[in-house]
Structure 1
Amino acid sequence: MPFGPKALSLAAIFAISTVFWGVARAAEHSLAKWQLKALASYSQPLAHEGPVILADRNQLFFTSNRLRRSDGSQYVIASIFDLKSLKTVDLGLTNSIPMANGAFRLSNGNLVITMQGDKSKPAGLAEFNVANGQVKLLTTGFSDYQFNSPNDVVQANDQSIWFTDPQYGYEQGFRPRPTIGNWVWRIDQAGRRQRLMMDGFSKPNGIAFSLDQEYVYVTDSGFIAGDGQRNSVLPRTIYRYRILQTPNGPLATDRITFCVVTKGIPDGLKVDEYGRVWTGTGAGLEIFDKDGNPLAVIPVANGVSNFALIPGGGAYVMGETKLYRLDI
């Protein structure tokens, strides 16, 4: 640290340090007191993936687990939950966005939803206008190749869209044999330039940016295959990449093993206002600090696939046949 008129005094340094550590300790302490309350119960696993809080509409969007028709074919229901009336409504997107999964609210207010596709309809990304119900397809493949079954999605500050594309659809019997790998993709703001960002995964699943978007986190849930079989040598891991900005667009570099979870696999992934990394696992909600050190495990019966963080604290938690609210 330089000495001279502009140098900070020891008292100032101490004051800044005290504030910093006070915030950090408050953030950790806030995890010690929590309450989980069921908001809704369902006869089917409707609360599974893609939760997005629509604060201006006082609603919560989410998608179901795989459901089966009488002929054995699979489908997914996308729902809206009204946070005042506590009523759940089917949005009727089963056919227009086949096997919908992850979702993220775009800067224009619409939702981008991962479309896993089926054996007759392609996989990709769809944009859903929450105001008028219109659906627009953003991408259905790369070159002549079809995507596998896109799982989770986020939008970066530059308006580009990043998404994971594991081969779960094929393993679960609703997608054709894969023609590309278990990869992570990016589409630019205009939707014209699409490129592979990361490979080397068993099953890339959840994805989230750090607060400053210097890093991107990706969960690898390869430990549990689409048919439910477990393979102890495959990942149940969160990886972190540094985002390197270049004149031709960002690159994902410097992959590190950020953490491994305590039970099952890391699925949904979020970063809160303190920079803490949350993930849904077989144990419930597992929370790590910015360096991958475990902070807390909030148990949820039968585990958690995904969740939506509530600004200011807490979360809406997907419990398959139950929708929960977590307050901390």
Structure 2
Amino acid sequence: MRKAAKSVSFILPHWTWSANSEPVPRSFKDIGLDEISITQYSPGFASITGPGQFWYSMILSTRESSRNPFFHDVCAYLPEHDELYISSNTLPPTSTSQLPIILISRIQIARNAAGAVRAVDWQKLRPPPNMPMPAGGAPYLRGVLYCSQGNTAPDTGGLYYMPRGKPPEPVVTNFFGRDFNSVNSVAVASDGSLWFTDPCHGFERELRGPPQLPCHVYRFDPGSRDLRVVADGLGRPHGIALSPDESTVYVTDTDAVRANASRDLTRAATIYAFDVVKRSGAPFLANKRVFAYALTSIPMGVACDGAGNVWAGCADGVEIWSAGGEILGVIEVPGGVTSIAFGTDGEVFLCAEQRLWMLRLKSRDLMSDS
């Protein structure tokens, strides 16, 4: 990997709070581009943020320089190394003879004696040739499990495990000989099984050939090599998350976004919930139901905290629902949020394309099981 390092000072935290009892569309007219605000819809939101304030900091920003969207997806936090791994959005090629690229950011966090972040070291890495166009990912074993969207060549794309400092290893790269479409997001269960989504984004963006499969949700067991389709009938399955007890799988459907980045508001911008059930000793997804419909635009990355609340990156920031599907509140981030990762001691990292934010929540125990 070729890399460029950049040491960045940490921006001091701020806080702001607002409340709104009416579920109306939000705007950013009363906050600045460098500010985060929150809107509470339910008293239960205070159990997440604390009774009166929360802290946030902008860790990195390209808005004032290249404006490149380096902070888009993966957002995998490795607590044992205090590192974040984040993939960019698609970046334009440097010449007309090259294809678009996606870069990986490795962000090393430096703390003071009290444990507060004082600076970060940012390295931009070019993915290895055998793992083209990485999208989502998750902490896995001694490194990161990446979703590779693949490229126009056959037999590319799938799940790849990249140990720290070592080349990626293919985990699963096809469905019994048929190429995946463009694997996007993955969740790792406590039994080692991998649950992942496979929308048609790659073909729509001219990065992949015509789809050979529907837009499925899959489960793969690396031990037994059991690979199975666990859900279909979704337009563009994108984010995926497991509840803390792993009895529920949440999947975001971003079908409202069309290939040319326009929006069709009659299509899904929805989080679906499925029950994980066993039949004849094997896992299945059952009882598909609408869990939530995004308040603003579409839900991208999705995550569950230790209390079972569901967090989704949306155009207005992070929308948060209780496990029962009640909207609790919105952490409003200018430009929206695409991916979320829980850190340690109440920290939450938010990818917002040209900016990377960190929140520190007062209710730190919520993150302990995530």
TM-score of the alignment, normalized to the shorter chain, above 0.5: yes
- 1:148/1:24 CA distance change after superposition, 3 Å: same
Report the 3-state secondary structure (helix = DSSP H, G, I; strand = E; otherwise coil) of the residue aligned with 2:209: coil
* Equivalent residue runs for 1:122-201 within 5 Å: 122-130=156-164, 132-190=165-223, 192-201=225-234
What is the CA distance between 1:226 and its match in structure 2? 3.3
Q: Identity of counterpart residues, as a percentage?
A: 28
DSSP-derived class of the 2:80 partner: helix
Note if contact 1:243-1:250 (Cα within 8 Å) is conserved in structure 2. Answer: yes
After superposition, give the CA deviation of every residue in 1:253-277 in whole Å (9 maximum; x if it has no partner): 0111000011111010110011110
CA distance in 2, matches of 1:319, 1:50: 12
Q: Which position in structure 2 is the counterpart of 1:97?
A: 131
Unaligned runs of 5+ in 2: 1-42, 111-118, 362-370
Which amino acid counterpart does residue 37 of structure 1 have in structure 2?
S
**Structure 1 pair 51–204 and aligned structure 2 pair: CA distance change class (3 A):** same
1:73 matched to which residue of 2? 99
Given residue 290 of structure 2, which amino acid in structure 1 is its aligned partner? T
* Residue 292 of structure 2: aligned partner: 259
Q: How big is the shift at 1:97?
A: 1.5
The letter of the residue matching 2:106 is I
Tell me which of 99, 117, 121 is aligned to 1:87. 121
Secondary structure of 2:179 counterpart: coil
1:283 to 316, 327, 330: 316
Write the distance in 2 (CA, Å) between the matches of 1:78 and 1:29. 30
What's the RMSD between the two structures over aligned residues? 1.8
- Quickly say closer, same or farther: Cα 1:254–1:135, change in 2 above 3 A: same
1:103-140 C-alpha deviation (Å, 9 max, x unpaired): 1112x22311000011125111100001x322101111
Letter paired with 2:136: G
Cα distance in structure 2, aligned partners of 1:138 and 1:210: 24
Which stretch of the first structure deviates more once superposed, 95-104 or 213-222? 95-104
Paired positions, count: 304
Which residue in the other structure is 2:30 paired with? none
- The residue aligned with 2:36 is none
Q: Is the 8 A contact 2:144 2:161 kept in 1?
A: yes
One-letter amino acid of the counterpart of residue 298, structure 1 = I
The answer to whether the aligner puts 1:202 opposite 2:228 as a matched pair is: no
1:18 is matched with: none
8 Å contact from structure 1 (residues 105, 112) kept in 2: yes
**2:53 equivalent in structure 1:** 33
SS at match of 1:205: strand
Partner Cα separation in structure 2 for residue 226 and residue 196 of structure 1: 25
Task: Report whether the alignment pairs 1:64 with 2:88.
Answer: yes
Query: Deviation of residue 191 (structure 1)?
Result: 5.7
| Partner amino acid, structure 1, of 2:107 | F
State how far apart, in whole Å, the 1-side matches of 2:305 and 2:84 are.
18
How far, CA to CA, are the matches of 1:264 and 1:74 in structure 2?
A: 26
Shift of 1:24: 6.1
Q: Deviations over 1:243-294 (max 9, x none)?
A: 0023442000011100001111101011001111000000100000001110
Cα offset for 1:29? 5.3
**Alpha-carbon distance in structure 1 between the residues aligned to 2:124 and 2:46:** 40
For 2:71 and 2:279, locate their aligned partners in 1 and report how far apart those are by CA, in whole Å.
Answer: 40
Q: Please state how far the C-alpha of 1:86 moved relative to its aligned partner.
A: 1.1
Give the number of the structure whose residues are more often helix, by fraction.
1
Partner SS for 1:79 = strand
Relative to structure 2, which stretch is displaced further, 258-267 or 72-81?
Answer: 72-81
Bigger radius of gyration, 1 or 2? 1
Distance in 2, Cα, partners of 1:49 & 1:31: 31
8 Å contact kept, 1:77–1:94: no
Q: Once structures 1 and 2 are overlaid, which stretch shifts more, 117-126 or 150-159?
A: 117-126
TM-score (normalizing by structure 2) = 0.78
